[in-house]
Amino acid sequence: MIRRPPRSTPLYSSAASDVYKRQILWDDKQVKCIGELSFKGDIKSVKMRKDRIVIVLEHRIYVYTFPDLKLLDVVETYPNPEGLCEISIADSFTLVYPDKKKGVVKVVNYDENGNFEIKAHEAGINALAINYDGKLCATASEKGTLIRIFSTQDGKPLGELRRGSDKADIQCIAFDRTSQWLACTSDKCTIHIFSLSGIYKALYGEGMGDSKNKTSIFNFMKGIIPYFKSEWSLAKFRIPESRSVIAFGPPDKCHVIVVTYDGKYYLTEFDPKTRGECHRITEKHFMENLQ
């Protein structure tokens, strides 16, 4: 596995493919290895930013300062074979990960010496995301019907987004750079895009447009039946069956990028006004020349 930290930097992070127990830091500009970390267990994922590197094992997370690679923290987690963990990219350093209790997410703000738990779901955590400035956290459970949005400042629930009513494996959740949109992928092969305009206004105190998600006609009963308080996606599109990851394009465009594990790349565009199906701009298959 290979990870590159955000912003313009020649530094790469790679878990050695032979045993997945060594973390190698490679500097492209100097064309040399500038650091190495070794662990007793397999490395499940790696997160990087300009001043931190986070190594995720199945039951433990190691947080190091960068570039001196001093150990800052070690935390225990719920069994985490997928290496779930997210960090903020902006200046304040916030870490979000599955706590030792089922369905609970732990939020740690290292700059403010604050940490607390969020009881996000009854089932185990299956997907996590954090927005650019670290103020919002999105979670999905093993059931895969709901995505819940929480404040990382106090753990307050801010919204509930419904992917569907049947069970699904939500594989990836992503915020856009402005925190106006959120998207998810799942094994149902449908990409869902949600508006966060209401949450944005509540959190940042200013508007980002009037785009709204679909809601149930029985929304007035949400105080009695929780199902009706959910919001459904504003836009969506389908891809062939394959595990996938998702990201948003530039902030000034309504573009969504999907890359599948079988080597396909999709660039699509959604219209916040007309909603509905996305327009597919580009589709490429990077594995064609290797077959």
Position 229 scores a pLDDT of: 58
pLDDT tens for the chain, residues 1 to 291 = 434 444 444 555 555 444 578 888 888 888 888 889 999 999 999 999 999 999 999 999 999 999 899 999 999 999 999 999 999 998 789 999 999 999 999 999 998 878 999 999 999 999 999 999 999 999 999 999 999 999 999 999 999 999 988 999 999 999 999 999 999 999 999 999 999 988 888 777 765 555 676 554 445 444 544 545 578 899 999 998 889 999 999 988 999 999 999 999 999 999 988 878 999 999 999 876 555
pTM, two decimal places: 0.84
Position 276 scores a pLDDT of: 84
Structure token digits, residue 258: 């999907």
Position 34 scores a pLDDT of: 86
Phi/psi at 221 (nearest 5 deg)?
-100, 10
